[in-house]
Amino acid sequence: MDKPKIYITRKLPKEIINNLEEYFIISMWQEEDVPVPRDVLLENVKDIDGLFCLLTEDINKELLDKAPNLKIISNMAVGYNNVDVEEAKKRNIIVTNTPGVLTETTADLTFTLLMTAARRIVEASSYLNEGNWKTWSPMQLTGQDIHGATLGIIGLGRIGEALVKRAKGFDMNIIYNNREPKPEKERELGIQYRDLNSLLKESDFVCILIPYSPNVYHLIGEKELSMMKSTAVLVNTARGGIVNESALYNALKNGVIWGAGLDVFEKEPVSLDHPLLTLKNVVTLPHIGSASINTRLKMAELASNNLIKVLSGEEPITPVS
């Protein structure tokens, strides 16, 4: 029997390809840092059985209409808002993601961003490099304390829980908001549930860790930001669309909140003339939450194994629900 055909939308490390080659006839976009052009992608899905894609590809009805043989969409990310899951379901196409393997790494980055924004690390480093450091002075580059502060986590999923562990080490007081309260986790982790407004009012740091769906588009806007403390820091490592960026810009510029750490933007890559990039009290990163060597390899491996399982007639390891 002929091997199934797959298309891979970005150049992957050799060890991942070597494994996939045993099972599949592979076509792959050969660039590492440039996404596959839409017309090339649409042309390449015509006769494939499986698709290995990234969060940079919009896997929508238009694409699915062009891929009549497709049986699995394997997204190398935990978030899958780039895939029209309903359309896939109508066609009996399985959609998989890569949860679990990136939890700890993404929690590490979320806490890093929180600390970096709180202690003005990027600004302080530029201050030195730009030759502004003339002396030590009492209130120079002073930031916010992390230890003993209240951390509000929006979204107590795997990454939210992993963030709790880090925050505990800094003696933080931890509150959370989630679609469903989780009383068992509250007992286990020593944290407390709050409705969203109370969380925003009480927190010194607010970390957004919910999956994106149209229901949470601009969940954090002008009204929500105005409820936060003027000393508070907002950290978003989930998806850019959850925060209204122009409201955030105004809040940061006018001292409504004190700072922000952003790993994600509504439009990625964020444009270099985006107003948020002009503010000193924002730390910006290019969507690197899960970007450790080990974790990215594990994500690629899990995404590959989902393809292998499904196209051998077995159950996927991590289907999206």
Residue numbers at the binding site for ligand GLV (CB under 6 A) = 55, 77-79, 102, 289-290
Q: Which amino acid is at 297?
A: L
Longest dimension (CA), the chain: 75
DSSP 211: P
**Out of 268, 274, 296, 301, which one is annotated catalytic?**
268
**Out of 120, 239, 245, 296, which one is annotated catalytic?**
239
Phi/psi at 205 (5° precision): -130, 130
Apex 224 CA angle, 56 and 158, nearest 5: 50
User: Which residue's CB is nearer to ligand GLV, number 102 or number 320?
Assistant: 102
- As beta bridge partners, residue 86 has none
179 is catalytic: no
User: Which residue's CB is nearer to ligand GLV, number 256 or number 262?
Assistant: 262
287 is catalytic: yes
User: Which residue's CB is nearer to ligand GLV, number 78 or number 200?
Assistant: 78
Smallest distance, ligand GLV to C-beta of residue 105, A? 10
Give residue for tokens 């959850």.
Answer: 242
Q: Which two tokens stand for residue 156?
A: 């107590």
User: Which residue's CB is nearer to ligand GLV, number 77 or number 307?
Assistant: 77
Judge if the upstream peptide bond of residue 319 is cis by omega within 30 degrees of 0.
no
Smallest distance, ligand GLV to C-beta of residue 81, A? 8
Smallest distance, ligand GLV to C-beta of residue 142, A? 32
**Out of 120, 166, 287, 296, which one is annotated catalytic?**
287
Integer-rounded Cα radius of gyration of the chain: 21
Smallest distance, ligand GLV to C-beta of residue 55, A? 6
Q: Which amino acid is at 246?
A: S
DSSP 277: G
Residue positions annotated with a catalytic role: 239, 268, 287
